[in-house]
Amino acid sequence: MIDRGPHPIEPWQLRETELPFDKLAQAESLFALSNGHIGLRGNLDEGEPYAMPGTYLNSFYEQRPLPYAEAGYGYPESGQTLVDVTNGKLIRLLVDDSPFDLRYGELHSHERCLDFRTGILRREVDWTSPAGKRVKVRSRRLVSLTQRAVAAIEYVVEVVDQPVRLVVQSELVANETQPRLSADPRVSAVLENPLEAVSQDFDNEEVILVHRTRASGLLMAAGMAHAIESPARTEVDVDVREDWGRTTVICVLQPGQTLRLVKLLAYGWSSLRSETAITDQVSAALAAARFSGWDGLVEQQREFLDDFWDAADVEVEGNAELQQAVRFALFHVLQSGARAERRAIPSKGLTGAGYDGHTFWDTEGFVLPTLTFTMPNAAADALRWRHSTLELAKERAQVLGLRGAAFPWRTIRGQECSGYWPAGTAAFHLNADIAAAVRRYHRATGDDAFIRECGLELLVETARLWISLGHHDRNGKWHLPGMTGPDEYSAVADDNVFTNLMAASNLRTAADLAARFPDDARRLGVDLEEEAAWRDAATDVYIPYDEELGVHPQSEGFTGYAVWDFEASRDKYPLLLHAPYFELYRKQVVKQADLTLAMYWCSDEFTAEQKARNVDYYERITVRDSSLSACVQAVTAAEVGHLDLAYDYAYEAALIDLLDLHHNTGDGLHMASLAGAWTALVAGFGGLRERETGLCFDPALPNGLSKLAFTVRWHGVRLRVEIRRDEVTYTVHDGPDAALTVFHAGEPIEVVTGKPVTCPLRVRRPLLPRPTQPPGREPMSALGKTTTTRKRHK
Amino acid sequence: MIDRGPHPIEPWQLRETELPFDKLAQAESLFALSNGHIGLRGNLDEGEPYAMPGTYLNSFYEQRPLPYAEAGYGYPESGQTLVDVTNGKLIRLLVDDSPFDLRYGELHSHERCLDFRTGILRREVDWTSPAGKRVKVRSRRLVSLTQRAVAAIEYVVEVVDQPVRLVVQSELVANETQPRLSADPRVSAVLENPLEAVSQDFDNEEVILVHRTRASGLLMAAGMAHAIESPARTEVDVDVREDWGRTTVICVLQPGQTLRLVKLLAYGWSSLRSETAITDQVSAALAAARFSGWDGLVEQQREFLDDFWDAADVEVEGNAELQQAVRFALFHVLQSGARAERRAIPSKGLTGAGYDGHTFWDTEGFVLPTLTFTMPNAAADALRWRHSTLELAKERAQVLGLRGAAFPWRTIRGQECSGYWPAGTAAFHLNADIAAAVRRYHRATGDDAFIRECGLELLVETARLWISLGHHDRNGKWHLPGMTGPDEYSAVADDNVFTNLMAASNLRTAADLAARFPDDARRLGVDLEEEAAWRDAATDVYIPYDEELGVHPQSEGFTGYAVWDFEASRDKYPLLLHAPYFELYRKQVVKQADLTLAMYWCSDEFTAEQKARNVDYYERITVRDSSLSACVQAVTAAEVGHLDLAYDYAYEAALIDLLDLHHNTGDGLHMASLAGAWTALVAGFGGLRERETGLCFDPALPNGLSKLAFTVRWHGVRLRVEIRRDEVTYTVHDGPDAALTVFHAGEPIEVVTGKPVTCPLRVRRPLLPRPTQPPGREPMSALGKTTTTRKRHK
């Protein structure tokens, strides 16, 4: 076990044993709990000190104007911002006269621990007040994965050496004071006092506060109920105002005695339902939680997680830190999507208000691949959410003069919220990414009902968009000028290879599935002519290639640009904070995998040699100022045989938040990178690709790893893949009759229950030497690092 | 004389005989008076009704925040807006009980007339009050061209048929109520109550109000003094508050008697001088104006204008409407630049607050060519203004990571105020346009002192900018990726032909003049290596050419884009109000002359056949949504032999405001198009080009014109060019010894005083038939139109 300061390396939990106040924001994100519907940042029970208070309900947002110095046609006029709703985490404690506040008195020990198998955040504090009274506070917190509207806290105070009068104030507080966030444009805008009090409902048993957002007009209710155990005379008071409710518990305890409080929380919101309906709904949720009780909630949580880990765990042998990180990552990905249920999965999950709580292509492009193979129902639900916004996307396309559906670059409820179109609306590839997620889900599950319910319509309307965006030139090639690809250091470029390939794939998939489900296609107005037009455009798509250099330009002309002066930028990352867009756009500098991502997602469109040369070329100019890059670079580096480089990238993707590599973990976790850690391992070293022909693997391990094992779901069957240095074993375990045909290094193999298949690994030999990166942007080495040599990026 | 409703066609004046209230805004702009320092919109003396009140002092601005939905590095945080300063035009009249207000009572006749030779706006009204009292009001207004700080009004009221008590309130009013402007993004933002009262200084002789802008902290003073002539007992009161001063004149007149008031106005402002200094300055200006008296001011004005017209007049025979329009245009261009004296010439002059009162490349690109040949000192002063902002431009370049100077796309005082960089900062060609204006001025005047004083430094610092923006490719060609050319329906494109050619010319001129003035070049840090680098880049510049089509793409790849669906856009102009930028940018649709402008300004870089083919190609896709286009299209159409098409464009350029062709004349006149009317005639039909070798002509007249005559200044000599259908006569008239060598159709000819030279015209034969334009965007025909057939654009 390597000690890395506040976080010891342990396989199944994240623990902190110190509480540096300047790292509070990061800790609040790391220790955030969520079920995809409710999100609670890891704020201290007593509320202060805090970096950013955070209690979120998925898709509960406030509207705000989007201002422009110079407006233009089609610019969205209002945006959406995730609201910090009524805080139910708050439990204040008065120890005799002194408020329990770690900034005062003496802290003997502090520990918080997030257990990935129980889903519980545990805290233990041993503290002496400024007046010399010592108490031990223990709390456990959960956001229920089985009771979607419920969270709960067990709060225990033990008096140590002198009699103490304890006052515990357990609260609900609306409109908390928000911190002033940085001037970094990536950090979201914050709204002050977004909640308007509607009503308060309370008795000695429970308190429910109902609020409404001013502009978006959404109703929400938060409720709390308590169970109190005390060995002494205890008085309980309930007090309620418009913006807060408070249950006060007072008692005097002798040394060794403990006060135990179980706080049950319930939340509900709606844009349609009435105030009384919402109040009732929350009250019912509280009743159900009381019925389960704390122990019941804890047990259900454990069962849910056991089931999850059984089919999702990734075992890494040889790097304990990576092992911990990938489980941390999977746990948070689970939290973000588990119970989102037809709501969006934001880029930061519900762990912070960064990026205004918006959902980007991160969901379909990075989070859904992981969920598709580990919790396919959650992936389907996320796509159902997209489908639920289809009408808005069709309206947006119409405003833009296009056909089909133009999904928003960033949004909470489906409306375009991007106020900078060159890196927003113009990144139309998002639509193809949604289509690819549909295809991936369908390939992995064979869920035809989903295709007929909504998948086909998503494919059809995005295909229509592409047809209206593209055109044939005089030589019959099909082009997409003026698109922004994934790389946000290029914009509005012609024939971006990624976008062109993804659009072609979108068109081809739409045509194929329309042909497979002709009745549904006709219902959507698709005729054979339209299908043919889709196939033709896909066939005619123009893919620029630089013959002289033997590489694909990211977009037409890209390889002719001047190369960015990386030497001069050595300490100026992220570049977007130090250089104007126009300068970034006109030079060879890549923020994040773009052509590289095309080589992963459209793997079959490139030869092995092209991949090797492209990786070599783009590694040298990619600065990874985006958290969406390392995981993709891991996959392609692994594919072309740079296994150790891939290992470094996988490590970086997994550790992004634990090491705060982008210096903004405090605004929320990077869900795409965390999901990408799974991808880096499973698609990178496992070589997983889902093809029309079936599930493919081509495993290889980097130096330093002695074993990598993971389980994926494919058409309802759990397949375990255990990779060792020279061989891989495929096992299925779903009942006595489970059978799967998968491909190993291109060859089909049959795996049935009870008969694991072991195959030797194909040796990967890189065509070219390991490439270099821009100076100062080399990935951290995953191999043999200890605290003393690892420096956090500045 | 053709009657065109409110504006009879007369050669030397603009007259209105009706006052349609829905056309007030346009009339206020058309009848605006200015000397380049003070600008008074043509508001009615009595202040109401009005569309937009307007009293402007050149460069007197307020700062305002520039908001962004998503900000980025290098975005300007504050903008500048021209302030409507203390209004001194206001003279209210009470006729017995009734305010003199044309919306009430009975208007027997109304006439206003702007005389281009006297520079005076005359007004005559015959009106009966609601109570039946008839008065005739006559006023004359001028903004002195000889006393820069002074304006004056003569106001005469005649009582017609019954005794009347007259109360005249002559006022100074600060912080007038501004109208709510349209949602059109081109219309400027308006600031409310920008002026803070500082002090008031008054006695019975004069009133001076001093104000300060809140954010920009500029001080201004406005003063007024009166001379009153009355045949009856007359009482005069002076009353002053923080935001207004009022001189009230009361008398009772008998039928036939007149009250005459002369109101003298003086203005001053400063960012440095103290309140008392400014007050004194304004008081002194009033004293000087009193010393001249009304008649003296009128006489000086006439003398100034006689001198101007002697060297600037353009005579057009065969189209009285165009004759009037071109003199109207020249008069307003004169007004915008005459006394600007090292201040900016805004795109709307001082005739309205459109575009926030900003200066763009319109100045150097469109207004200065006209001034260079008609009032060269004003051109030099405008360039001295640019030079005075050089330090700001160098700072801006540094912020952008560039070398040299990056002048602002739009500004009042020199700071970048563009809040949308793709069509702002990225339009770096502005810097080359400044350099071209320096070169043009130097060629036309031989003013070496100006080059050594500031011209060379402008060339050097812009050349340095280009070197830092461009790069050589592997084949040694020099590129400028990611630039926005003049056409604002394309942006951030690679190797825009116009920009590349202009940058090369900038570099070449800088190198040539550095070699001619080596001492000054060394002082600016230019060594021989730097000069060589400039020459090399200029030589290596890459100019894309589409061999298949035989035309120049506007920028790399342009001719491969889909052509805009003009048929579907028939009634959707300007397109920017109906389509998103990304869609405009990625299609073949041109807002304004771009490649076409390159063919005019860099005429020698194209063969005659290329010009003919390019004109043919771009005419079909150019929609002229910018007022900077028609005049340029006139010049190139004329050059390739489409003389009648050129005639139509010249007509459109000249009539832009008289016919309100862009529907926003009310926000201010289009100074570039007005100056462009001169260019269309002189460079188009006169074929004027200034070359290193000398002044060149190649005249040709369109059908419909029997004569075109103009005078230009060249190296201090006035050259008159009189073109008839078959021949042209060149005459010089500056003293007995004036001599000039000019080129006629490529051949040098010597013209000396008293010896006019007459040459036959070279016949122009177009290579291709007259091209068509996008449907609905054909220019209005200049030939044989009358009111009954001319329809204003919708």
Burial of residue A287 (CB within 10 Å: 0-12, 13-18, 19+) is middle
CB spacing of A474 vs B586 below 8 angstroms: no
- What the block records as the tokens of A452 is 């007929």
B741-759: per-residue pLDDT in tens? 999 999 999 999 999 999 9
* Residue A1 pLDDT: 37
* Residue B180 pLDDT: 63
CA distances from A720 to A312, A326, A373, A723 (A): 9, 17, 12, 10
Chain A residue with minimal CA distance to B585?
Answer: A482
* Residue A4 pLDDT: 53
Mean pLDDT of A458-472: 98
| Residue of A430, A564, A582, A617 for testing the chain B interface, max B β-carbons within 10 Å | A582
Identify which of A473, A548, A580 has the shortest CB distance to residue B400. A580
CA distances from B645 to A692, B50, B633 (A): 60, 38, 9
B675-697: per-residue pLDDT in tens? 999 999 999 999 999 999 999 99
B578 neighbourhood in chain A, CB within 8 Å:
73
Chain A, chain B: beta-carbon pairs less than 8 Å apart? 147
CB spacing of A578 vs B73 below 8 angstroms: yes
B482 neighbourhood in chain A, CB within 8 Å:
582, 585-586
Is B73 near chain A, with CB under 8 Å? Answer: yes
Mean pLDDT of A201-207: 92
Q: Which of residues 164-203 of A touch B (CB under 8 A)?
A: 185
Mean pLDDT of A459-480: 98
Chain A residue with minimal CA distance to B188?
Answer: A70
Instruction: Give the closest-approach CA distance of B434 to chain A in angstroms.
Output: 21
Chain B residue with minimal CA distance to A423?
Answer: B70
B75 neighbourhood in chain A, CB within 8 Å:
69
A424 neighbourhood in chain B, CB within 8 Å:
70
Cα gap A710→A730, rounded to integer Å: 10
Identify which of A424, A492, A577 has the shortest CB distance to residue B585. A492
Is B476 near chain A, with CB under 8 Å? Answer: no
* Residue B788 pLDDT: 35
Cα gap A574→A458, rounded to integer Å: 35
What is the pLDDT confidence band of residue B469, given thresholds at 50, 70 and 90?
very high
Is B69 near chain A, with CB under 8 Å? Answer: yes
* Residue B735 pLDDT: 77
**Is pLDDT of B186 > 90?**
no
Is B546 near chain A, with CB under 8 Å? Answer: no
Cα gap B445→B686, rounded to integer Å: 19
B589 neighbourhood in chain A, CB within 8 Å:
none
Q: Which of residues 579-608 of A touch B (CB under 8 A)?
A: 579-583, 585-587
* Residue B181 pLDDT: 53
CB spacing of A401 vs B583 below 8 angstroms: yes
B426 neighbourhood in chain A, CB within 8 Å:
582
A557 neighbourhood in chain B, CB within 8 Å:
481, 494, 556-557
* Residue A783 pLDDT: 79
Is B775 near chain A, with CB under 8 Å? Answer: no
User: Residues A700, A704, A706, A711: is their CA dihedral positive or negative?
Assistant: negative
* Residue B784 pLDDT: 57
Count of helix runs (H) and strand runs (E) in chain B: 19, 32
**Is pLDDT of A293 > 90?**
yes
* Residue A588 pLDDT: 98
Cα gap A111→B717, rounded to integer Å: 90
B516-572: per-residue pLDDT in tens? 999 999 999 999 999 999 999 999 999 999 999 999 999 999 999 999 999 999 999
**Is pLDDT of A185 > 50?**
no
A333-351: per-residue pLDDT in tens? 999 999 988 999 999 999 9
Mean pLDDT of A621-635: 98
Chain A residue with minimal CA distance to B491?
Answer: A492
* Residue A786 pLDDT: 39
A471-498: per-residue pLDDT in tens? 999 999 999 999 999 999 999 999 999 9
**Is pLDDT of A793 > 50?**
no
Is A395 near chain B, with CB under 8 Å? Answer: no
* Residue A5 pLDDT: 53
**Is pLDDT of A103 > 70?**
yes
Percentage of chain A surpassing pLDDT 90?
92
Which residues sit opposite A221 in a β-bridge? A210, A268
What is the pLDDT confidence band of residue A181, given thresholds at 50, 70 and 90?
low
B38-66: per-residue pLDDT in tens? 999 999 999 999 999 999 999 999 998 88
| Residue reference for tokens 């460079």 | B683
- What the block records as the tokens of B520 is 């000054």
Instruction: Give the closest-approach CA distance of A73 to chain B in angstroms.
Output: 5
Cα gap A152→A121, rounded to integer Å: 11
What is the pLDDT confidence band of residue A655, given thresholds at 50, 70 and 90?
very high
CA gyration radius for chain A? 27
User: Residues B308, B310, B311, B315: is their CA dihedral positive or negative?
Assistant: positive
- What the block records as the tokens of A333 is 């990905």
Q: Are B321 and B360 in contact (CB under 8 A)?
A: no
**Mean model confidence pLDDT for chain B:** 95
Is A503 near chain B, with CB under 8 Å? Answer: no
What is the pLDDT confidence band of residue B4, given thresholds at 50, 70 and 90?
low
A29-38: per-residue pLDDT in tens? 999 999 999 9
**Is pLDDT of A146 > 70?**
yes
CB spacing of A580 vs B473 below 8 angstroms: no
* Residue A520 pLDDT: 98
Cα gap A360→A344, rounded to integer Å: 9
- Kindly name the residue from A488, A530, A556, A722 that is annotated as catalytic: A488
Instruction: Give the closest-approach CA distance of B502 to chain A in angstroms.
Output: 19
B779-791: per-residue pLDDT in tens? 999 875 533 333 4
Chain A residue with minimal CA distance to B563?
Answer: A471
Q: Which residues of B are annotated as catalytic?
A: 488
Which residues sit opposite B687 in a β-bridge? none
Instruction: Give the closest-approach CA distance of B186 to chain A in angstroms.
Output: 8
Is B707 near chain A, with CB under 8 Å? Answer: no
- What the block records as the tokens of A294 is 């704390």
Q: Are B91 and B46 in contact (CB under 8 A)?
A: yes
B425 neighbourhood in chain A, CB within 8 Å:
580, 582
A188 neighbourhood in chain B, CB within 8 Å:
none
Q: Are A707 and A661 in contact (CB under 8 A)?
A: no
- Does the pTM exceed 0.90? yes
* Residue A186 pLDDT: 43
**Is pLDDT of A107 > 70?**
yes
Identify which of A72, A581, A586 has the shortest CB distance to residue B576. A72
Identify which of A79, A400, A492 has the shortest CB distance to residue B492. A492
Identify which of B75, B482, B586 has the shortest CB distance to residue A482. B586
SS (H, E, C) A357-369: HCECCHHHHHHHH
Cα gap A203→A279, rounded to integer Å: 13
Is A69 near chain B, with CB under 8 Å? Answer: yes
| Residue of A64, A68, A70 for testing the chain B interface, max B β-carbons within 10 Å | A70
Cα gap B651→A708, rounded to integer Å: 78
Mean pLDDT of B408-413: 98
* Residue A454 pLDDT: 97
User: Residues B269, B273, B274, B278: is their CA dihedral positive or negative?
Assistant: negative
B79 neighbourhood in chain A, CB within 8 Å:
69
